[in-house]
Amino acid sequence: MDISCYEHDQGFVLSRFQEGDFDYLDSASEVVETEFFRFIGAKKILQDIAETYPSPRKKHDVPTWLYMASNISMRLHGVHSFNAYPYVIRCGGMLNAFGPEIGHKVKHPETGDITLSCAGFNEKNDYDRQTPCDQDYLRKFSLDTDAQRLMGWFNGDVSKMFKLHKAFDAEGIFSGDASYLFVPDNPAYEGSVRMLFDENDHPIEAKSLAGMDPRQAARCRWRRCYKMVSLLHTDQKHSFFMRAAMRIVPGNENECPILYDLVDEFVASVGKGIIKRLILDRGFIDGAKIGYCKLTHDIDILMPLKKNMDLYKDALGLLKSPDTKFLEVAKPAPRPIAPARLAQAPENIRRREAKRQETLAKQKAEEPAPAPEKTLVKSEAAGIAGFTSFDACPVALNVIINRETYADGRQDIWMLLDTKPLENPHDPLERREEYHLRTDIEEGHRQLKCFWDLTKFTSRAFSLVVNQVIFVALTYNLLQLHLKRKGREELNRRTLPRIYNQLLPNDSFVIIYCQNRFALFTTSEYTEILLTLPKQSQDKILARTRRLKRELAAEFRSPRPP
């Protein structure tokens, strides 16, 4: 069954309704979710990714696109348990996008409750359908989907779809990330491992506990986990944070070869030229892979150096060379305090805000001066090109030396490795600033983990763990693409609850369907339209409404008992 997505056409539906012609009437809520599904349906995004989905079934009683739409709707609502699917369908707006043929509201003949009536896709139910498909079907379909094939599908076919819809920015900035997904300490979590972590959730060796401070060692704990290795995409304006490729592995696997495999997999799917800049952490240092990315994929890599590397020591030896010229990093201008929104506020609120600002300024003036060893005086950067001392790397490398000077005279030095040529004197400053994009990418990653309940797994089966992570990432990407097309890129940096607060309407709407089109009217608008119609049109609408009422009343032939 193909997707039948209704088009918003206010003028056409109104003109037909004024002549007494319409297909169905309903109330509409959760318009943001409805618009989102109309977007991915009308753009054929849902159909495209459903056709390539690695289905575990040879025969499909339920269309794959509906399974995917249902799965995505659950992630939008922050729900991961399939038992909650009927609740999501009833309170959400997914069905409004696909029209009354998939599902519509009716009154239960025994309880009088307003529920859903869904036509379904087969004749296997003993009771009338109140959801488009059964929640147990969704769970079994997800459980039987091979986890490796699902990750390969997300990294390949889904990436092709995003390229087709121009979701990848022309700047081509990507980053690699490895993150731990913690689960309860239950060995039944398939593929998970138990590891020792310090108080900051960094893995440590058990033998290192003996040399640690007792208080610090007491804060270490054993935790069971997976590891999620991701290829992330953003732009200079930080207007989006996309997950381009992902892989879920046991927590003790080395993320370095996995990330470069993801890069190869992504380039094989979407072609060269999408990834232009790859910003990595020092944990991904691999000379052969760095050279391979540069020579084969034309990808320039920027990453910090380790202090025990020969390349670091060579650059340190050239630090005092007269050819090494440092440029001072301009101090960031203090962010101007936005004028309080008090112009239209009552007088007592303006006085209270003025007093608060005065108190804050006084407290800041009374704060003791920071210690000299913590007072940063100056930041500088210099670039040195043409290093070949990294034997494992087949290409010449450039080093950005960063020097921080503090009030007590102490200097800290850290360096960046870069395969991109240094072409002008200001390149070192630009590369330093470019590397700081990683912190913004980390913020987007934090949103995915914290505000989308990424690790709140309701099953211990590895296939369902991967299903949850992949569909949360897919939903996150699609929602960002939707907001970008609506011109609301600024919402991509906000949490999901905040997005809903900004976009969800407070009013109820009457939705009128007609010839695969729909229109939304407020209650007052609908009443005014109805009362100002000619008598002939009103009679047609009355007759059609009574016929719909009779059909709905007889629709539940075998309702599920209360």
Q: Is 170 found in the same domain as 191?
A: yes
Looking at the structure, tell me whether residues 198 and 155 fall in a common domain. Answer: yes
Task: Please answer whether residues 16 and 515 qualify as being in contact, where contact means their C-beta atoms are separated by less than 8 angstroms.
Answer: yes
Least confident range from 85-99, 153-167, 176-190: namely: 85-99
Q: Which domain holds residue 164?
A: 148-275+451-496
Same domain, 198 and 178: yes
What pLDDT score does 559 carry? 57
Sorted by sequence, the CB contacts under 8 Å of residue 371 that are 6+ apart come out as none
Query: Residue 446 falls within a domain, yes or no?
Result: no
Closest alpha carbon to 403 in 379, 427, 430: 379
Let me know whether 538 and 472 are in one domain.
no
Do 519 and 468 belong together in one domain?
Answer: no
Asked if 98 and 115 sit in the same domain, the reply is yes
Kindly indicate the confidence band of residue 504, based on its pLDDT and cuts at 50, 70 and 90.
Answer: very low
Nearest-angstrom CA–CA distance, 447 and 468: 16
Helix (H) or strand (E) holding 109, with range, is none
Together in a domain, 120 and 185 = no
- Least confident residue range of 281-295, 307-321, 322-336, 400-414: 322-336
| Residue 535 lies inside a defined structural domain of this protein | yes
pLDDT in tens, 22-47: 887 766 554 567 778 888 887 788 88
CA end-to-end span of the chain, whole Å? 32
Tell me: pLDDT of 118 over 80.
Answer: no
pTM of the model as a whole: 0.80
Residue 209 lies in a domain: yes
What's the confidence (pLDDT) of residue 368? 82
Residues 12 and 141 reside in one and the same domain: yes
In this structure, are 116 and 195 located in the same domain?
Answer: no
Question: Is residue 428 in a domain?
Answer: no
Question: Residue 186, exposed/middle/buried by CB under 10 A (0-12, 13-18, 19+)?
Answer: exposed
Shared-domain flag, residues 19 and 107: yes
Q: Is residue 323 part of a domain?
A: no
Whether 24 and 82 map to the same domain: the answer is yes
Token pair 């050279």 is found at 291
Number of domains in the chain: 2
Asked if residue 481 belongs to a domain, the reply is yes
Is 390 inside a domain boundary? no
28 & 121 share domain:
yes
Is residue 530, in this structure, part of any structural domain at all?
yes
